[in-house]
Amino acid sequence: METLHRINSLKKTILIIVFLLFGSLTISLYAQSNTKLPDYLITKYTGVLTSTNIKTKVNTNVSCTIKTRGYKTYAFHFSDGISPITSVKFMKNGDTYTSTIIYKGKTSVVSLNEEGNLSIGATSKGALAFSGSIENDGWDEDDDFSENIITETGNNSIHLSTGSTGIYMNGNQTHIGTENASIHTSNGSVSVGTGDNGILIENGNISLGTGNTEIAINSNNENHNGNCIINHDHNYGNLISCGSTEISTLPKNIVGIYRGKLKTYGTETRKGICTVVKTGCKTYRLDFSDSVLSIHDVQFGRKNDFDEYTSVIVEGEYSSAIEIDMTFDDLEIDGKILRVSFDGKRN
């Protein structure tokens, strides 16, 4: 009976966390996106995993390891044979990093605070929920650097620090950090960061980032070829004023998830996902599956006689390349004009 009571309490706690996260996320979606996680948070977490379907299953001893996939892009790898969550990007609100993800067609909210507490909140039936914290054997951001010199050895690890500078070595991981810069190596990958600038080398892939600009070079060992993606993610400006009658607020029933044919350079699938997200007053963002870069700062004109909303501004430029048809619940993106082609229906 005590175990059942603990499980019921845990389910209620997770639901409360989800509602709180959705409330804060709606307010701050437009504030800051694509934030780089501190190195000490890119590690292993242990906690409780809950899955809801016909029955609720709770596993009280599950691990979730956060790994870097690219500059400011991350993946969650679970124990117990659970499929990973990939292409996760965070925004920062105070001391908390948040993200909205789509996992196996279900929407979840991720919250990770600077104390090392990770929560993945399920928002629909069939989704996963996880609540855990950093394992104690990793480097902790709260390690005391107040002493002039600290030297610690044990469990095959070495920790040296003086003032705000520290060196941490444990097995195949090495972290060298100063107040504003860091070098991190782990399992053959190298990450160098200073301020908003960063270099990541991992599995033959290279990501270079400076401020809000990203260049990703991805190699394919099997075919001996590669591709280069440049992501310049910023506020493009040139938006039409919110008070203008030239643009419209989309009805709630057409803001959300669409599924269909997705095509861009190096990617083509008939099971693609495009999510229309409201980011400000009469302003939207289009997020995609399969690691396809988002389309930012989209504004739509007034509904025409055919119950269609057509874009007027896309990333600071006048463009009618995006169309949403209310009659057929259809979303189309003209790939001849934009870098992405999409044709799908409302989920």
Q: Encode pLDDT of 264-301 as tens digits.
A: 988 899 999 999 999 999 999 999 999 898 999 999 99
The pLDDT, as a whole number, for residue 138 is 45
Check whether 227 has a pLDDT greater than 80. no
Using pLDDT thresholds of 50, 70 and 90, give the confidence band for residue 329: very high
Which one-letter DSSP state was computed for residue 336?
T
Q: Encode pLDDT of 94-153 as tens digits.
A: 889 998 887 777 778 899 999 899 998 865 666 778 899 987 654 444 444 344 455 555
Check whether 189 has a pLDDT greater than 60. yes
Question: How far apart are alpha carbons 262 and 285 in whole angstroms?
Answer: 16
Using pLDDT thresholds of 50, 70 and 90, give the confidence band for residue 314: very high
How many CB atoms sit inside 10 A of residue 18's CB? 20
The pLDDT, as a whole number, for residue 266 is 83
Could you tell me the residue ranges of all domains in the chain?
A: 2-134, 150-232, 247-346
**pTM attached to this predicted model:** 0.38
In CATH, what class is 2-134? Answer: mainly beta
Q: To which H or E segment does residue 24 belong? A: helix 2-28
